[in-house]
Structure 1
């Protein structure tokens, strides 16, 4: 009886602690949701105003205080005016081709490099991997001139190849996929070797399908980075029909019309692909970036 009495308070304490912690969580819930909603509205407001402002006339966009809704009618002709002043259609296609080339190139080179760092018997493997990581620390401005001289020396100015060539490999992509590949047991590679699978068959038939979340996250990251490039396309292209949509928006802003609604129409056209990627690819980004976190 003495032993039972001594043990009773000891078993009751964890239950009281759990009830106390659950009560604290319930009390903080509404405040947390309110804070999330407020932050969501703050982040969403520029997107909302960009879309609404693209349908406003000059009187609405220049009003004070700023109009949050078209007071003088909706003006969808802002989009047609933007397409007439600057060849946004051609620039849009250039951006799509540049983004596709860079994304495919970075994913392919990152997969091959990461596979080599994990599954091939390389000498000084950690040293060469450190070299790859060191490329992420080099300021982009310090290599822009060598890249320009190299690309122009090959005669690739005003071409899609010139826009994509300096960005076909990525240290970040190699690092991300290497961490994902390290999460796979080495016995998987040994079993594939016993079945007669070579390196390429194991990579494309087994390892790559199992790494789809990480590959999707890397593809989305590469696509967003390539789509938003401005300085390199501005430097390597001279004719407007060979430039990208990001430069076209700058040309709209510096045009003689000075119509903010028309500029916002161009911004919405440039924002649409990235917005769709983020909305529909968010879960792939989260799963891909955390795939190699826990082994």
Structure 2
């Protein structure tokens, strides 16, 4: 009887071990499948231009070099492009967080007529694709005379309906009595929003920060439409202008792409935990 029990236990342990090994193997395969474009881009970026069409070095370069990362800064103002993208992305992130917190505070704690209608109208804007209004936006900023500047890259993205929705959902279970007590103690609405509400929805703020920064960093159509000189171009536009038919510009463009991916990857890696918490915050009531 004891021998049979030990045999069953060993089979169970062996089956569990095989299951873990199979799961790890599937995860590795999925990781390689997902990361292959990034890995291939890096391998291509360290490849000399002469090996680009060499059949013997289709994947791995025979003479890897880092000079492409240096040369790309020499032929184009990549540093300026990266600085512009950082200014735009950080500004959009801070402004969207500020407007979203204030809007969510108003929809959660303030009482005014038509609150539900206004909130519904704001959410309905998420159904309108950006391409549908990009021409009207361009005509509007052109009439203001602010095209070809960094500020025109920021103004259309000061408010985000999706971020307002996230903040409102995060405040669904926030006790209204706390707000009433703060008002009795003489706390202003703005102070309550930034000293009490903001610290309590940090995971949501983290998710908003990651999403807003990546959206601002990866913008392409709008900067392409409203910027005309290198002083105000973002990194996405600058990198695309490196493209040409010769192999030298090809590897330099890929090297530039790898460089411009570093900030977005770093932000996502640092903020991915808060992003998951923030997106699920308010999803379960009770």
Question: Match for residue 16 of structure 1?
Answer: none
Cα offset for 1:67?
3.4
In the superposition, the TM-score normalised over structure 1's length comes to 0.86
Relative to structure 1, the CA distance from residue 190 to residue 54 in structure 2 (aligned partners, 3 Å threshold; closer, same or farther) is same
5 Å-filtered alignment, 1:54-203, equals 54-64=45-55, 67-72=58-63, 74-203=64-193
Relative to structure 1, the CA distance from residue 143 to residue 34 in structure 2 (aligned partners, 3 Å threshold; closer, same or farther) is same
Question: Match for residue 8 of structure 2?
Answer: none
Question: Match for residue 199 of structure 2?
Answer: 209
Cα offset for 1:27?
7.0
Question: Match for residue 263 of structure 1?
Answer: 253
Relative to structure 1, the CA distance from residue 23 to residue 96 in structure 2 (aligned partners, 3 Å threshold; closer, same or farther) is same
State yes or no: 1:40 paired with 2:31. yes
Question: Match for residue 12 of structure 1?
Answer: none
8 Å contact from structure 1 (residues 106, 167) kept in 2:
yes
SS in 2 for 1:113: helix
In the superposition, the TM-score normalised over structure 2's length comes to 0.89
The one of 242, 249, 256 equivalent to 1:252 is 242
Cα offset for 1:62?
2.1
Partners of 2:146 and 2:75 in 1: CA distance: 27
Partners of 1:67 and 1:257 in 2: CA distance: 14
SS in 1 for 2:239: helix
Partners of 1:23 and 1:127 in 2: CA distance: 60
Cα offset for 1:53?
1.8
8 Å contact from structure 1 (residues 91, 243) kept in 2:
yes
Relative to structure 1, the CA distance from residue 274 to residue 183 in structure 2 (aligned partners, 3 Å threshold; closer, same or farther) is same
Structure 1 vs Structure 2 CA RMSD: 2.2
Partners of 2:234 and 2:280 in 1: CA distance: 33
State yes or no: 1:235 paired with 2:225. yes
Partners of 1:258 and 1:42 in 2: CA distance: 28
Deviations 1:147-185 (A, max 9, x none): 101111111111110111111111101101000011212
8 Å contact from structure 2 (residues 88, 154) kept in 1:
yes
SS in 2 for 1:232: helix
Q: Between 221-230 and 42-51, report the one with greater CA deviation.
A: 42-51
The one of 40, 44, 64 equivalent to 1:49 is 40
Question: Match for residue 3 of structure 2?
Answer: none
Structure 1: which 5+ residue stretches go unaligned? 1-21
Q: Give aligned pairs, total.
A: 274
Cα offset for 1:110?
1.0
Cα offset for 1:264?
1.3
State yes or no: 1:290 paired with 2:280. yes
8 Å contact from structure 1 (residues 110, 174) kept in 2:
yes
Question: Which is greater in Rg?
Answer: 1
Cα offset for 1:128?
1.0
Relative to structure 1, the CA distance from residue 70 to residue 210 in structure 2 (aligned partners, 3 Å threshold; closer, same or farther) is same
Structure 2: which 5+ residue stretches go unaligned? 1-12
